[in-house]
Amino acid sequence: MNFFCAVVFFCTHTLGQSTSDSNDSLWIRHLYDDVLLNGEAYDNLRTLTKDIGHRLSGSESAENAMQWGADVMRAYGADEVRIMPVMVPHWTRGQVASAIARWGDGQEKKLHVTALGGSVGTDALSEAQARVTVVKQLEELQNLPSDQTEGRIVLFNRPMDPVQINTGSAYGGAYDQRGNGASAAAAVGAQGALVRSLTHALDTLPHTGAMRYQEDVDRIPAAAISTVDAAWLAKAVAEFPDLTVQMELDCQAFDDVEQGNVIGTWHGTELPHEIITLGGHLDSWDIGEGAHDDGAGVVHTLEVLRVLKAIGYEPRRTLRFVLFINEENGNRGGITYAEKAREEMEKTNRVHVAALESDAGGFVPRGFRIDASDDATELMRSWTDLFDPYNIHQFRRGGAGVDISPLKELTPRPTLVGLSPDGQRYFDFHHSAQDIFENVHKRELELGAATFAAAVLMLDQHLPSPIK
């Protein structure tokens, strides 16, 4: 290549790149402006949390939320709206969640507890009261003599690691005691389990969450206990060897029921056979309103549809807006969606190129968690200058979200992206009675919606086609 040709190539390439960046910048600016001036995410969240309330899978309120989500998608102009049937568990917490510590000559203290999701009721207890064994690791139970485990209530008292800057990592590091603690305790003869709430907060609010039973082990009742009460109980057991705890839970499990994922489709103009999925989960736990988890992700998803329509954007690819059911206690919505996606790819020429999820709260956005190939990851990292004016600086590898994770098994493998808000306060509210509308900041919620929309637009515009 001679010098003249080289200069022409360089200038043409640079100009083309500059023009593309300029267009992207304008689209992103339009997105943020419209969401911050005309956004409806906050009002939608108020309706979802205050008019509908909690949305535990299998409940009537979850059913109402499904219909509401479908109505909003239609109002915002989705080409098609449907419900993908999903069989979900039906478990109820009941009205009673009690634990009372007793020691000495008539002394007692009421503890703040709530049933873990999926727990059996205390009808399974052989006695009204039991002594308490305190451990921090599941493995400790294997080394204890039988007189310290049989017939006892086991308190799992391992805090979330405070030195982990990433609170999600701290949560993951403490999760096993909630998920598997009851079965580990039952395996050594215990008749009940108390699990320290998974939060850094030191308060009297118990945080619920899913647990699971091993098939070959007796099912014993399991409850979350507040961090303050867990610390007190561990100290009291050491000081008063005769201390007992009386637990009472009246939760129940019923047969599975049919509910479903709410899916809105907006057909692409250039590559309609290539699909970009975006969504959050519609279900929530029942002791709060599911505002951060995951009402924020639901209204983020709906706001993307609204704002892209509002600014006159025409997607190249087909966009699917999905409100997943049953993330909290089974992920059957995400699993079913991936199964149907695989069937769709086998029967048609449609291919899933990307999926995005918002399920980390309505806090100020910091960036994205990317679960993708090296090329796709570097592509997103090349957008740092475009996102810098909006204080979006994190383009890190990591898990993109529970609902979209089953899509990793598709071939070709789609690019998975999770919206990453600031997480330092998330577990103060997560799975607790504090997860209510009043604890979501309007502007932070809106910034998250705009950032989510910008990521969708950029992937639609620039992600290479997986099929040549």
> How many CB atoms within 10 Å of residue 107?
11
94-250 and 27-91+255-462 share a CATH fold: no
Q: How far apart are CA 193 and CA 183, in angstroms?
A: 9
Residues 437-462: tens digit of each pLDDT:
999 999 999 999 999 999 999 999 99
The pLDDT score that the predictor gives to residue 11 is: 40
Are the C-beta atoms of 393 and 422 separated by less than 8 Å? no
CATH of domain 27-91+255-462: 3.40.630.10
> How many CB atoms within 10 Å of residue 342?
16
The pLDDT score that the predictor gives to residue 468 is: 62
Domain range list for the chain = 27-91+255-462, 94-250
The pLDDT score that the predictor gives to residue 123 is: 87
In terms of Cβ atoms closer than 10 Å to its own Cβ (0-12, 13-18, 19+), residue 52 is: buried
The DSSP code sequence of 208-228 is --B----TTS----EEEE-HH
Which stretches of the chain drop beneath a pLDDT of 70?
A: 1-20, 124-128, 468
Q: Which residues touch 309 (CB under 8 Å, ≥6 apart)? A: 76, 77
pTM across the whole model: 0.94
Residues 323-350: tens digit of each pLDDT:
999 999 999 999 999 999 999 999 998 9
In terms of Cβ atoms closer than 10 Å to its own Cβ (0-12, 13-18, 19+), residue 336 is: buried
Q: Which fold has domain 94-250?
A: Glucose Oxidase; domain 1 (3.50.30)
The pLDDT score that the predictor gives to residue 320 is: 98
